[in-house]
Amino acid sequence: MKGLTKDLAAKLDEHDPLQSFKTEFYLPKNTYYMDGNSLGLLSKRAEQALLTSLQDWKQLGINGWTDGKEPWFYMSEKLGAMTAPLLGAKSEEVINTGSITTNIHQLLATFYQPSGKKTKILADELNFPSDIYALKSQLELHGYDPEEHLVQVESLDGRTLSEDTIINAMTEEVALILLPSVLYRSGQLLDMPAITKAAHERGIMVGFDLAHSIGALPHQLHDWGIDFAVWCTYKYLNSGPGGVGGLFVHEKHLGRKPGLAGWFSSNKNKQFDMDHSLTQAESAGAFQIGTPHILSSAPLIGSLEMFQEAGIERIREKSLQQTRYLIHFVKEELSEFGFTIANPEDDNRRGGHVSLIHEEAASICKALKAQQIIPDFRAPNVIRLAPIALYTSYSDLYQVMMILKEIVQSGEYKQFKNERDTIA
């Protein structure tokens, strides 16, 4: 991709089969939005789906649970079925519920069953902090010291993980593994099939946090045999702030008693028998806990309709081309200004965002915001840029990178303090 000119960007846009989806989103005026891997933008369809549920509430009251245009009682299952194709899963293996952290607690309460020598949980040192908080909490609930029983695979470069190192850490003492599919700092995509195969050969349960991969790339969770997975929906899936998350449980585990049973763990035909003995759902719905958060789930109906139309394979193809575009631009135009590319450059090893390392990263991010570009900063020195296939054009990327070049070339960023704001 030589000669990264404005004309080339326009030509790429002209031949982009997904370009029409950009008009479906509310784009901040005069702004280049590059933070969709933290919070996706609102679409007109997501807005309408939320308004539909509000209208059902307004007109029907409690009857909205069964008689609404989108009946609330079945919404979580509908969303699970709509999400399943993005995951290579069967509809009964997926449910829209909870948050990443609550779903981790649920699935660890279900699948972490220490016995004999197998008492340890294997994770990594680069994972998002809240996942580690949950793992430590679960170990403590079982009476184990996290310092001894949580094994965190080390990174050799502070950015990426080696699958060989992960597999070598799968000792006979490990009962369960939880890893990210894509590392949030570097955008590295782990080899989930290889890790799962190795874990199962050693009798270890394995799950993945898909926060930075769902909606950006295809998965084959069922065929890979992954035991469980969790994700949020407010990043690439564009469900809105605090949008309800989701979980996957492989069909071989369906029928297993949920570790944290609750009102919506029930078989829907039995739920209102009001029996004090739970008859659990035969699907992943059994791993729900409380009443679905309808107004935080409804927008996903509209958003997922667009994923059905666009197709996750085409989304992945554009995502890879756009991240490749950014990486090449950095190499050709910014190499002299102290930037390091944290991502693996192999397409098969890269998620949906580009991570740039710079010692003045916080200052540069503030300077970008002053120029109406919304990046993402991760302490201490990472600038994340996420082109979103449904609403980011190549012309957007060209403008972003030219402005970034001007900021560092002129030294404009030096007027800002190199420290994060309260929320980074």
Binding-site residue set for pyridoxal 5'-phosphate? 100-101, 128-131, 209, 212, 234, 263, 291
Number of H helices, E strands in the chain: 15, 13
CA–CA–CA angle 266, 271, 272 (5° rounding): 165
Annotated binding site: 100-101, 128-131, 209, 212, 234, 263, 291
Q: Are 363 and 416 in contact (CB under 8 A)?
A: yes
Bridge partners of 180?
Answer: 209
Question: How many residues are recorded in the chain?
Answer: 424
What is the Cβ-side half-sphere exposure of residue 311, based on CA atoms within 13 angstroms? Answer: 6
CA–CA–CA angle 223, 226, 228 (5° rounding): 130
Q: Which parts of 198-291 are beta strand (E)?
A: 205-209, 228-231, 246-249
Strand duo 246-249 + 94-96: pairing? antiparallel
How far is Cα 310 from Cα 318, in angstroms, rounded to an integer?
11
Task: Identify which of 63, 112, 115, 261 has the alpha carbon closest to the alpha carbon of residue 123.
Answer: 112
Cα dihedral 133, 136, 140, 146, rounded to 10, equals -140
| Sequence letter at residue 21 | F
Three-state SS for 160-208 is CCCHHHHHHCCCCCEEEEEEECECCCCCEECCHHHHHHHHHHCCCEEEE
Q: How far is CA 117 from the centre of its chain?
A: 33
- How deeply is 48 buried, as exposed, middle or buried, from its count of CB atoms within 10 A (0-12, 13-18, 19+)? middle
Q: Are 18 and 307 in contact (CB under 8 A)?
A: no
How far is Cα 336 from Cα 321, in angstroms, rounded to an integer?
24
In the three-class reduction of DSSP (H, G, I as helix; E, B as strand; rest coil), residue 386 is classed as strand
Bridge partners of 231?
Answer: 246
